[in-house]
């Protein structure tokens, strides 16, 4: 796993698109065991007034209805450590691996993922972190709302 | 908490609407600390080809963007024990209580909810259970897909 993976590249493109839209700059991409992109997307809180379409949820939603077998061996790439909701979605559909861009700006439920046998890899990517730092600095209220904090 | 609560009544109405639409017959309703319905909805897998709009997610989505304070003291009513994804969403937004219709047809992540300090109440409602039993019998493939099983 590296920042050259097609899944990570797509997730980062999605995060940048989110930033351009003045939204929460987090992107995600679900890649099948065979290396095919099943779905990709970015956080849609501002764009769709959505409290559920975090980046990973958007990627799952854009992948559409799939049988359980389609998620087997899949990897969820996301530019940020996944929150409790997105973690739960990865557990529900039995994604095999979560590759995250960074967890310096937010630490999600990585331990819960691991406890369910899901591999978690942190790419410690500076670009992902810079996107989040800028966003949190400029739109602290939007960020707190997105993670259910005051 | 009883089956007379407005939140449970709304959740059950939503589940029945889902059944009428030949969808997954699970409904949910998010009620504020003050007793106001913030959002309600039902599972939209079939209706919107959505893998993320489980009933609880639909209720959260229909409630729209809210500050963290709006979820404080709130109750998520759902006609079925919540799956990992919906559990994660309740944890993310710090819903205070989950009231579920039944857990005989599916047991979700109730222990995880409790471990996070979220109260869980099971109403053991026969109507909720009957809706699910009929659905699982008639549409086993759709049900398995909804819970990420083969």
Q: What is the pLDDT of residues A127-139, one digit of tens each?
A: 999 999 999 999 9
Task: Give pLDDT tens digits for B119-134.
Answer: 999 999 999 999 999 9
What pTM, to 2 d.p., does this model score? 0.97
Q: Is A56 a catalytic residue?
A: yes
B140 in contact with A at a CB cutoff of 8 Å?
no
Which residues from chain A sit within 8 angstroms of residue B115, using beta carbons? Answer: none
Quote the pLDDT of residue A45: 98
Quote the pLDDT of residue A60: 98
Band (pLDDT 50/70/90 cuts) for residue B57 is very high
Query: A-contacting residues of B 93-132, CB under 8 Å?
Result: 93-94, 109, 112
Q: Where are the beta strands (DSSP E) in B26-115?
A: 27-31, 37-42, 75-78, 97-100
| Whole-angstrom Cα Rg for chain A | 14
Task: Give pLDDT tens digits for A4-17.
Answer: 799 999 999 999 99
**Complex prediction ipTM:** 0.97
Quote the pLDDT of residue A92: 98
Quote the pLDDT of residue B1: 72
Quote the pLDDT of residue A58: 98
Contact yes or no for A57 and B52 at CB 8 A: yes
Contact yes or no for A145 and B67 at CB 8 A: yes
Contact yes or no for B148 and A93 at CB 8 A: yes
A vs B, Cβ pairs < 8 A, gives 99
Whether residue A15 contacts residue A42, with contact meaning beta carbons closer than 8 Å, is answered with yes
By Cβ distance, the residue of B52, B63, B144 closest to A89 is B52
Whether residue A121 contacts residue A100, with contact meaning beta carbons closer than 8 Å, is answered with yes
């Amino acid at each position: 796993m590296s920042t050259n993976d097609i899944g990570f590249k797509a997730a980062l493109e999605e995060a940048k698109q989110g930033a351009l839209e003045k939204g929460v700059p987090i992107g995600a991409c679900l890649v099948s065991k065979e290396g095919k992109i099943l779905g990709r997307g970015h956080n849609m809180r501002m764009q769709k007034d959505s409290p559920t379409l975090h980046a990973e949820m958007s990627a799952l939603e854009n992948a559409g209805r799939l049988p359980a077998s389609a998620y087997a061996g899949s990897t969820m790439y996301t530019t940020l450590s996944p929150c409790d909701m997105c973690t739960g979605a990865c557990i529900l559909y039995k994604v095999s691996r979560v590759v995250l861009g960074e967890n310096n700006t937010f630490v999600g439920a990585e331990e819960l993922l691991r406890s369910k046998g899901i591999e978690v890899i942190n790419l410690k990517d500076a670009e992902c972190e810079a996107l989040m730092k800028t966003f949190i600095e400029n739109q602290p209220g939007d960020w707190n709302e997105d993670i259910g904090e005051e």
